[in-house]
Amino acid sequence: MTEPIEKWREDKAMDRFESKIIRITETGCWIWIGAISSNGYGSFQYMGKRMGAHVASFLIFNGEIPAGKEVCHTCDIRCCVNPYHLFSGTRSENMNDCVRKKRYTPSAAKLTQEMLEDILTSPLRNIDLCRKYGLSKNVVGRARQRLHYTKPLKGFDTEALTAAGIQYRIKGE
């Protein structure tokens, strides 16, 4: 008796899903016009869970995501949900793909000496500093804790940083 109910739920999910996409003929992308998260990915309620719309698309059209894998885009459009533009890959494969396509710049690489000095003395909340400088919460938080797990970036006055109590060390050392 549960099989027809499950089929009905799947059909309703498919109808809801398809009502939230626009197909772009030129690129083949299916652009998500439903809810969009702050990270630029679509958001969809599927199988009782809120998830990325691209993840829901993969599940609906391709089935299960293999263990240890995540859903990646070949088109690099975060709000694309075309199942033919999606593939499963490890986190490492996804990040390597980002770097290879020059789509990834670590937030810490954007940090300048002036930003760091402002972060250390600013009365603003971390989230406001993230928005002000386009940095991740992790980078701002670590700067405020006077920790930074990379070599000092080019152009930084390492003596001034040391005097300010900033500790630099390479991860794993």
Digit-coded pLDDT (tens) for 5-35 = 455 556 688 888 999 999 998 889 999 999 9
Let me know if residue 36 belongs to a domain: yes
Give the range of the structural domain holding residue 27, as residue numbers without chain letter.
Answer: 2-100
**What burial class does residue 34 get, using C-beta atoms within 10 Å of its C-beta: 0-12 exposed, 13-18 middle, 19+ buried?**
middle
pLDDT of residue 110 exceeding 90, the answer is no
- Give the span between the Cα atoms of 111 and 134, in whole angstroms: 9
Helices and strands (DSSP H and E) totals, the chain = 7, 8
Residues 125 and 43 in one domain: no
Residue 153, in any domain of the structure: yes
Q: How many domains does the chain have?
A: 2
Is the domain of 9 the same as that of 70? yes
- Tell me the pairing of strands 167-168 and 147-148: parallel
What's the CA gap between 116 and 23, in Å, rounded? 43
Statement: residue 55 has pLDDT above 60? yes
Mark whether 147 and 89 lie in a shared domain: no
Q: Which two tokens stand for residue 142?
A: 């670590």
Residues 95 and 13 grouped into a single domain: yes
Of residues 55 and 104, which shows the higher confidence score?
A: 55
The C-alpha atoms of residue 173 and residue 169 are separated, in whole angstroms, by 7
In the chain, % of residues over pLDDT 70: 72
